Amino acid sequence: MGRKIKFCLVYRDMWQSSGKYQPRVDQLLEIAPVIVRMGCFDRVETNGGAFEQVNLLYGENPNKAVRAWTKPLREAGIQTQMLERALNGLRMYPVPADVRKLMFKVKKAQGVDVVRSFCGLNDYRNLELSIKYANEFGLISQAALSISHSPVHTLEHYLSVVDKYVEYGAKEIGLKDMAGIGRPSELGKLVKAIKEKYPHLVIQYHGHTGPGLSMASVLEVCRNGADIVDVAMEPLSWGMVHPDVIAVQAMLRADGFDVADIDMNAYMEARTLTQKFIDDFLGYFIEPKNKISTSLLLGCGLPGGMMGSMMADLKGVHNSINMMLEKSGRKKLTEDELLIKLFDEVQYVWPMVGTPGLVTPFSQYVKNIALMNILADAQGKPRFSNMEQNQWDMILGKCGRLPGVVSPEVMEIAKQKGFTFFDGVPQDNYPDELPKYRQMMQERGWDVGQDDEELFELAMHERQYIDYKEGRAKKNFVNELEVAKQKSNIREVIKIVKLPEVIQQEVIDKVLAKEPDAKMITAPVSGEVIWEIAVDEPSMAKPLGTPFKKDETVCFVSAYYGMEPVKSFYDGQLLEVLVRQGQKVAKGDVIAFIK
């Protein structure tokens, strides 16, 4: 028998790559003993990233969920693994160092064994504290390489990053092939080079099946020294998710590797339970296209798990783009034509903004820049006209050093806007905040929780935690689910839910017929419109005639990761409001008009 290869079940990421929501804690506890009985997993990915935000969106305590979910697995000798985004922690934007440190203390106390840390830019400076804190609190630090395919993502690039990870004290290296676009032979060479230089390091491979390369990649990395591979199971495996454990086991066993047996009775039971969770409510929020692989992803390099949100984005702006094209005498685009146009634009934009690794949040930034460029073109405006501040922060180096070079064109736009580039340590831009959150909890009479875990949750996910504590999150989720259940067609229920009066085309046409010079204010992301953060009245909006200057915030959209400002691109007054407080929009939907 050959070298042993271990399996890690990415149960959390299976769901995240499929749809909006993930199982509740009661469902996780139901399936945990069945996963144990399968007998083939040395690790299970249990928490981190969007997983814990989803708990809050349910109105469920993520700290209690993590403790409950990790317990039966650890008692069975299975290691639990979490995912964190280094500088961004468990959210989409930077986290102060004291909050990052508390996270490792809390997660160790909650039963996490392994922490996979990654930076989409592969800026090792962003992982220095992650590795330090993991080691300090007795966790296994796995420093991940964000895998992309480009002229700058070379073997030398990755090895130079690994050198720093080892210097910082990482115990393992993860290959996070988040889009599944890593070429198998190149991944094999990378694993071999790391093992030759650092034979003591454990290497774990994570690859999505979206573009269809992952099975070949699994075989190549194992042949060259990988120790652990991430796998999924039916009914969520394949498509935009991960390879199924049965197929991976068969392939590796035929190649001579020592792999664990699978208790097929338990596999079928886990399969049935997972389908039950889908039928219960999770299926209402799963994009059917995420069950299908597409080689189109090889060109744009976007993660397959983004396809659901990307299609929602396209549908949201499709009518607006076609309306503008038609107005200027140009041909309207079909949905497929718009998709290909977006893929082409991503390929154009990506190297111009420094070739960041296309993983959260940078994949979203690049895709959004491309989408807004298409919208700008339809409006007769130049590329990069509708850039948001977080996208500029990436380009300016505030998130870390970009692996590539920003184009002269984008540099010139930054110069015209008066922006300055930053090459310091990104963490230095974000001072400690825990004292502020301790005081906030004292003022509200909230307990900081066991091991300060409630304090951590507030500091990491302030908006979502407050909504959870004050009952809004549970109410919003129940309402959203009720609307979804009333839909008879599954292809309708997985779309973003809009209230009847939102974004009616006839209203848009009527406004433009009356005021041809009216300018649209559109949603930068999908979510819930908030006109006044402190106001809960469902009909609330700013009074018509309210003046706004260019780049001034008109309202907010509450996305799953936090509040996103909606800015005006014009000087003017509020002419018409189409979306009221608390109503849902898709990215690109018209919220209001300014004149």
**6-290: CATH homologous superfamily?**
Aldolase class I (3.20.20.70)
8 Å CB contact between 29 and 69: yes
| CA angle centred on 584, ends 379 and 493, rounded to 5° | 105
| Distance of alpha carbon 236 from alpha carbon 22, whole angstroms | 12
Decide if pLDDT at 493 tops 80: no
Bridge partners, residue 43, by sequence: 8, 79
pLDDT score at 8: 98
pLDDT score at 291: 81
8 Å CB contact between 458 and 465: yes
Rounded average pLDDT over 328-354: 88
8 Å CB contact between 544 and 554: no
pLDDT score at 533: 52
pLDDT tens-place string over residues 225-249: 999 999 999 999 998 899 999 999 9
Residue 44's nearest CA partner among 26, 71, 24, 18 is 71
pLDDT tens-place string over residues 445-485: 999 999 999 999 999 999 999 999 999 999 988 888 876 67
pLDDT score at 501: 41
pLDDT tens-place string over residues 266-312: 999 999 999 999 989 998 888 777 788 888 778 777 776 565 566 66
Decide if pLDDT at 582 tops 60: yes
- pLDDT higher for 21 or 32? 32
| Distance of alpha carbon 282 from alpha carbon 368, whole angstroms | 26
3-state class (DSSP) for residue 568: coil
What is the CATH number that goes with domain 505-594?
Answer: 2.40.50.100
pLDDT score at 310: 66
The per-residue DSSP string of 455-487 comes to HHHHHHSHHHHHHHHTTHHHHHHHHHHHHHHT-
Decide if pLDDT at 534 tops 60: no
8 Å CB contact between 520 and 590: yes
- pLDDT higher for 500 or 94? 94
Phi, psi of 550 (to 5 degrees): -55, 135
* Bridge pairing between strands 527-530 and 553-559: antiparallel
Q: Which residues contact 348 (CB under 8 A, 6 or more apart)?
A: 370
User: Domain boundaries in the chain?
Assistant: 6-290, 296-428, 505-594
Residue 26's nearest CA partner among 50, 48, 55 is 55
8 Å CB contact between 466 and 558: no
| Distance of alpha carbon 257 from alpha carbon 215, whole angstroms | 15
How many other CB atoms sit within 10 Å of the CB of residue 26? Answer: 10
Between the alpha carbon of residue 389 and those of residues 72, 411, 476, 548, 593, the distances in Å are: 43, 15, 28, 18, 22
Residue 54's nearest CA partner among 88, 84, 91 is 91
pLDDT tier for residue 416 given thresholds of 50, 70 and 90:
very high
| Distance of alpha carbon 399 from alpha carbon 524, whole angstroms | 20
Residue 240's nearest CA partner among 211, 279, 277, 213 is 211
Range of 31-45, 391-405, 413-427, 529-543 with top mean pLDDT: 31-45
pTM above 0.85, yes or no: no
Residue 206's nearest CA partner among 183, 180, 235, 188 is 180
pLDDT score at 309: 60
pLDDT score at 499: 39
Range of 10-14, 76-80, 528-532 with top mean pLDDT: 76-80
pLDDT score at 514: 80
Whether cis (ω within 30° of 0) applies to the bond prior to 543 is: no
pLDDT, averaged across the chain: 88
380's torsion region: left (phi>0), alpha (psi -120 to 50) or beta?
left
From the centroid of its chain, how far is CA 215? 23
Altogether, the residues listed in the chain come to a count of 595
